[in-house]
Amino acid sequence: MVDWLQHTTGGLLTLAAVGIALLLAMIIAWKVEPFIALLIVGVGTALAAGIPVETLVGSIQSSNSGSLIETGFGNILGHIAVIIGMGTFLGAILEASGGAQVLTRKLLQAFGEKRAALAMGLAGLIFGIPVFFDIGIFVLAPLVYVVAKQSGKSILLFCLPLLAGLSVTHAFLPPHPGPVAAAGLLGVGLGWVILFGAICALPAWGVGLWFANRIGNRIHIDVPEEMLEAAKAGRRQDGPGTATAPAEPKLGTVVTIIAIPLVLILIGTFGSIILPKKSVAAGIATFFGTPAIALTISVLLAFWLLGYRRGMTRSEVSTIANASLKPVAMILLVVGAGAFYGRVLTVSGIGKAVQSSLADIGLPVLVAAYLISCGLRIAQGSATAAIAASAAIVGPTIANAGYTQPQLALIVAAICAGSIIASHVNDGGFWIVSRYFGISVKDTLKTWTVLETILSVVAFAVAAVLMIFI
């Protein structure tokens, strides 16, 4: 029985299926943190697959064992920790400085009352690049309340476009942890992930706006009055130009700071292809286009232009930066555990067994990656955990398979698309949307859950079509 599990394709596939089932049971039924669940399942799978203990955990006699646990965690965290940390710093200073409110107000002024929904969608799309999904809601929801109240229309017409923008950027674009983690696990450059993530996300966002308009005109939901009063009170106490707050930052400064890392990373990615190898220009493009360098430049500019120049003390900036890192620790642990699980699948031979089975049934890797991510998302709720686990499962099946960087980026996009499908009651984002915008559970399922599913399916469809031609 043990030999069958360890040395046959059927046995290895059984190990994979049991491991995934146990992973979901631990997270869903037993409420175990995804990090701990991935670590336990990874260790159990390794032992069941016959991986030697010394290979799994190293040798006590050697301090440089290169164990699966160390290499699994170390390789991916060395790649993504700085990127996610700097991205979090950037989002925090933009939030604290009032940059999000400036961006949204300017967009509302530019587009006017008739196109306020589009303005909110664009605000979510732009501000969603550097900030986490829930932070974007907390910061921009007060503006949604005011616009919806002034128009007398359903709050859905304004909150759903905002949510669509925040959702697609959180799912598809670095420096958010999901796409960054998937890129690291599958070995694809962030420039390619940004390019194809945007190409897949933008059409999905456009269809999401169409859905928001349709459903917002069918279901009328009033602005929650207690939230509106809280927003008004907050503006009276701390609004721009008062004695307690500096003048708001300029729109051009905010947009420039958000755009700098994306532009530099893209220049680095494509400069290394277009420019002569080993030339000075190629070296400069590579240096400044390295994600950690690009984000560091943007963060330093943000600290100076949005912080110190506007009267923030070093202590205040430090407090903002330190507070922003609190939610990052568990994200990094989940990603590290996912990478460790992926290493186990590779070393045990399970990855090759899965690849062989997919080839036998004719299921493309892109489709398999999407379906796995969908299943994990629906089962346990967290988009980031779904991406990390899916990439860990799929990674071994595509290793050394000859995929190009654009093709790998499309597989990343498919995984990210699956990670946002069908948000429901096991997803924290579901409850934030419901409570912040005063939407009943039934109507949240009819609106937000459907919106997320539309974003997922459209983005995957774009990735699938592109995969045919790339």
pLDDT tens-digit map of 386-425: 999 999 999 988 887 889 999 999 999 999 999 999 999 8
pLDDT at 241: 42
Model confidence at 243, in pLDDT bands (50, 70, 90)?
A: very low
Rounded to the nearest integer, the mean pLDDT of the chain is 89
pLDDT at 305: 94
Distance CA 112, CA 295 (A): 33
Distance CA 364, CA 355 (A): 10
DSSP secondary structure string for all residues of 327-361: THHHHHHHHHHHHHHHHHHHHHTHHHHHHHHHHHH
Largest CA distance in the chain: 75
Show the tokens assigned to 446. 């009819």
pLDDT digits (tens, 9 = 90+) for 29-60: 898 888 899 999 999 999 998 899 888 987 65
pLDDT at 230: 62
| Half-sphere exposure in the Cβ direction for 227 (13 Å, CA) | 24
The pTM for the full model equals 0.89
pLDDT at 405: 96
pLDDT at 323: 86
- Residue 212 above 70 pLDDT? yes
* Cα three-residue angle 419-40-414, rounded to 5 degrees: 20
Mean pLDDT of 180-186: 95
- Residue 66 above 80 pLDDT? no
Mean pLDDT of 6-17: 81
Determine the 3-state secondary structure of 69 from DSSP: helix
Three-class secondary structure assignment of 143-168:
HHHHHHHHHCCCCHHHHHHHHHHHHH
| CA torsion angle 317 323 326 329 (round to 10) | 10
